[in-house]
Chains A and B, each alone.
Chain A
């Protein structure tokens, strides 16, 4: 099957920073207090790269990716810092600015394809509407483009699919439709928030392969949110590891696996399922609970669960600094892996009791 090269990518610079985050904070006002879901993230995402965003459940991956998109609830959100997309500041941008970027410049694929498509609208129309509205295509043009997109995401007999409703498609097919929607207007950046968690394993691999392939062919920037470091290893160029609303380690993917510095990242790696494991093996979850995001502990947020933690870790917060031997490898840790011996966890700390 020959796949036409998308035209929309022409004329864009191929390199340089695309998304620049500086001290990004996204807090939610709740009855319990201010939930610091994203709490000071600084990160630059280069054009055309695939960047993985990993971390345990609740570490702020979704909130960070939605902060980049600007898709946050309208009320009860306190934001600060700077998010620049192709140089445009987005943090306090009016909704009209965001809307001019959504679909055209940045697109998103959600986690659950079962709930992310409009159940009462034909699949074809859901793909065609951004084409008609953003690219001004006629009904017939949009139909042709839609069929081309469905072919591109490997949906069999696309012309018949156009007329179907989401309930008539399997989960994997729906996620392909979601990807077709996201790709429709040739976005510069694609944010995929756990695009495969809701799918079964064989389909997961296909969808991830499809995303990677599209990214390469379109020279698109991909932000891949996942809690699975195995996925990160196969599909990303760089990784940012999140914990408690912060990026705690950031490195080119190969470097991260070659020389893990953060004990938290190391713990996450132990929870990767391997092919040798029998199916449905329970993953070695990290003992203890994620930190309270309303009143985060002083010092390192991971200290209470860290096997290497010393006094200093509980008192003083480490900042994200470049490794002395690799300027691309950043981590926030006083005693990186390999520098001290593990000790027993402090049982007195209530946060450590899982």
Chain B
């Protein structure tokens, strides 16, 4: 528990440092706080509106104070005003946040669902045709850029066979489940396949090593069925790299999300961030970055805590630490 709190503390520091750096970078070089306020509000604004913005966001104070007020806004979901969309950023981003978060979760889940059985079977049947096939598949899955894979899936499943919409709105599972699945399937696959490729390679290598360890041979000598040896004994002892990679590959995944959201016209944080940067929509960019960092922090926390779930020795060491 103390360990968990420590980690949460560390990750909060990461969150603060990154969002502060972004705030400074975006507000730097505006040439005075009235000019900055004008930029943040965008378009034609009256002097009165500028004055109000300066007061509200404390633009005449130093960056640290500005940041603290921004942070206060963030935790109360007061994220400022989107100049490009003439609406509050919170309202703009709420549905987009869910689109990206769901895409990320689906991509990791589907990636693991594809990778774990593939890696276990490949390791078990090492050097057989099925192992080779798996290696080729993960090589391709790893090497193909998300944009190419996405376009390919779009062409094949939407334009050719008309199975899924090529572009669709972000419909949420709590709205219409069937339509949600249909709209999210191809984008999810586009993100999940490269993830699956990474996971498969890592897990296969770990499984191959684990299967040679003494305790696995002992499980054989006890007469345990192959299925039990693979899934109960070997798999759990091979999870370290794959769990770590869920955290480390998240950056690539979020990069892919930008591509996928744009390609499949899903309104998400990724695509919104690009649009907002181009239109110099400062509040929105700031909030998008904050959300992305938030997702990264949460996933890394989950990854970190799952080491304890997997390995009692880690649990022990952390309890003593």
Mark A residues whose CB is within 8 Å of B: 69, 71, 75, 99-104, 107-108, 110, 112, 115-121, 129-130, 133-134, 165, 167, 178, 181, 184
Contacts and interface: CB of A to CB of B under 8 A. Distances in A.
Contacts of B310: 120
B113 interface: no
A104 B223 contact: yes
B212 to A, nearest CB: 9
Contacts of B221: 69, 71, 102-103, 107-108
B160 interface: no
Contacts of A107: 221-222
B127 to A, nearest CB: 8
Q: Which of B127, B221, B233 has the most CB of A within 10 A?
A: B221
B132 interface: no
Interface of B: 127, 213-215, 217-225, 228, 232-233, 236-237, 310-313, 316
Nearest to A121: B233
A318 to B, nearest CB: 35
**Considering residues B217, B218, B236, which has the most beta carbons from chain A within 10 angstroms of its beta carbon?**
B218
Contact of A100 (B214, B223, B237): B223
Contacts of B213: 115
A118 B237 contact: yes
Nearest to A102: B223
Nearest to A112: B214
Given A119-B237, A167-B313, A103 B215 contact: no
Contacts of A178: 218
B219 A118 contact: yes
A115 B215 contact: yes
A108 B316 CA distance: 30
B215 A133 contact: no
Given A71-B217, A120-B236, 10 more contacts: A71-B221, A99-B223, A99-B225, A100-B223, A103-B222, A103-B224, A107-B222, A115-B213, A119-B215, A178-B218
21 contacts: A75-B127, A99-B220, A102-B221, A102-B223, A103-B222, A103-B223, A107-B222, A108-B221, A110-B214, A110-B218, A115-B213, A115-B215, A117-B215, A118-B215, A118-B237, A119-B215, A120-B312, A129-B222, A130-B224, A165-B312, A178-B218
A167 B311 CA distance: 11
A129 B223 CA distance: 10
A65 B232 CA distance: 27
Given A115-B214, A115-B215, A118-B233, A102 B220 contact: yes
Contacts, number: 71
A133 B237 CA distance: 22
Nearest to B215: A118
A103 to B, nearest CB: 3
Nearest to B233: A118
A121 B219 CA distance: 12
A75 B225 CA distance: 20
B222 A181 contact: yes
Contact of B223 (A75, A121, A130): A130
A276 B224 CA distance: 46
B217 to A, nearest CB: 6
Contacts of A121: 232-233
A99 B213 CA distance: 19
A71 B222 contact: no
A116 B223 contact: no
Contacts of B222: 102-103, 107, 129-130, 181, 184
Contacts of B316: 167
A167 B314 CA distance: 11
B237 A120 contact: yes
Nearest to A129: B224
Contact of A134 (B127, B220, B223, B312): B223
A115 B218 CA distance: 10
- Name the residue in B220, B222, B225 with the highest tally of chain A Cβ atoms < 10 Å from its Cβ: B222
Nearest to A74: B126
Contacts of B225: 99, 133
Contacts of B217: 71, 110
A119 B313 contact: yes
A117 B218 contact: yes
Contacts of B223: 99-104, 130, 133-134
B93 to A, nearest CB: 41
Nearest to B315: A165
A271 B67 CA distance: 77
A112 B217 CA distance: 12
A190 to B, nearest CB: 11
A298 B215 CA distance: 39
A121 B236 CA distance: 9
A134 B225 CA distance: 10
B313 A165 contact: yes
Most buried by B among A118, A129, A178: A118
B134 to A, nearest CB: 18
Q: Which 9 A-B pairs have the closest CB atoms?
A: A103-B223, A102-B223, A115-B214, A116-B214, A103-B222, A108-B221, A118-B215, A165-B312, A130-B222
Q: Max chain B CB contacts within 10 Å: which of A100, A112, A165?
A: A165
Contacts of B218: 108, 110, 116-118, 178, 181
